[in-house]
Amino acid sequence: MRIRIENLDKIYNNGKQALSKVNLDINQGMFGLLGPNGAGKSSLMRILVTLMQPTNGKITFDNFDLNKDRGEIRKLLGYLPQDFRFFTKLKTWEFLNYAAELAGVKEKKVRLQKVDEWLDKVGLFDVRERNANKLSGGMKRRLGIAQALIGEPKVIVVDEPTTGLDPEERIRFRNILSELSQQDVIIILSTHIVGDISSVCHNLALLNNGTVGFKGSPEQLINNTRGHVWKVNTSGIEYEMLKEKYAIISTIPSEEGWEVQLVGDSLDIENAVLIEPNLEHAYVYFMEYLTNKNEF
């Protein structure tokens, strides 16, 4: 399966351009869509899952055209929206059973088996009799995953997956996705949290102000940042100056005052040492310095 997005624009009725000339090629595995709030991620997700029409542009899922073959494409999709809520009085297992029925799992015996399997996978088997509304935030999120996946979709779209989850739940969620990404599926994950784009995302796109600023592997993004991340030991006064001029990534108390990590194009400070960038450094560097450039 391959998804191609060509020259996609979205202009809302109020004139707001949320997406502008977006071109992306998405293949098997996990694809990360990273960008700050308001970048256009949800707009792109909603278009991809056929909930909203683009203003211009073309999207294909293999040979299916999103403008013409919406029904076919819907059968391939599992979607976990950002604000997934249940307006339901159903028990947890009943809700999942209903989702499976909607996803086309017709035979009751098979369906119930699937329901149990997924309750177990997402760690909700013990609370299967509980009303879905009464689950904790993390549990609801996991039920959200299960309902998106129970129909065995070929394309899974997850919008801001870890919002509102505690660290333990985040890890659990990432593990479920990472396990899935080993299979023959495309997982598209949108987030503003760099940590969500873990090592399992082999490809990512950075979205800013509705445009794609970078597309490629996390390693490529990090490579582009090498030579721009520094460590400086500094006193309090210098620190104020640094804060004005550079994007600070972290500040740790040290003997001299502070050990500061920052990103910059060049640095004219005596004791600054270049350090090896990670994905978070790369993201901050991109957002700070390349906002007004097209690609790097």
Residues lying near ligand ADP in the complex (CB under 6 A): 12, 14, 16, 18, 35, 37-43
Nearer to ligand ADP, 41 or 228 (CB): 41
- CA-nearest of 36, 33, 37 to 22 is 33
Smallest distance, ligand ADP to C-beta of residue 152, A: 27
Nearer to ligand ADP, 150 or 212 (CB): 212
Smallest distance, ligand ADP to C-beta of residue 46, A: 8
Nearer to ligand ADP, 41 or 141 (CB): 41
Report the chain's terminal Cα–Cα distance, integer Å.
27
C-alpha to C-alpha distances, 266 to 262, 279, 280, 288, nearest whole angstrom: 11, 19, 19, 13
Nearer to ligand ADP, 18 or 272 (CB): 18
Smallest distance, ligand ADP to C-beta of residue 17, A: 8
Residues 6+ apart with CB under 8 A from 290: 213, 214, 296
Smallest distance, ligand ADP to C-beta of residue 24, A: 15
Smallest distance, ligand ADP to C-beta of residue 288, A: 18
Sheet with 77-80, side-by-side order of all strands: 77-80, 155-159, 186-191, 29-34, 201-208, 211-216
Smallest distance, ligand ADP to C-beta of residue 280, A: 18
Q: How far apart are CA 252 and CA 246, in angstroms?
A: 16
Nearer to ligand ADP, 17 or 224 (CB): 17
Nearer to ligand ADP, 17 or 60 (CB): 17
Q: How far apart are CA 65 and CA 20, in angstroms?
A: 20
Which H or E run contains 141?
helix 137-149
Q: Decide if 259 contacts 251 (C-beta within 8 A).
A: yes
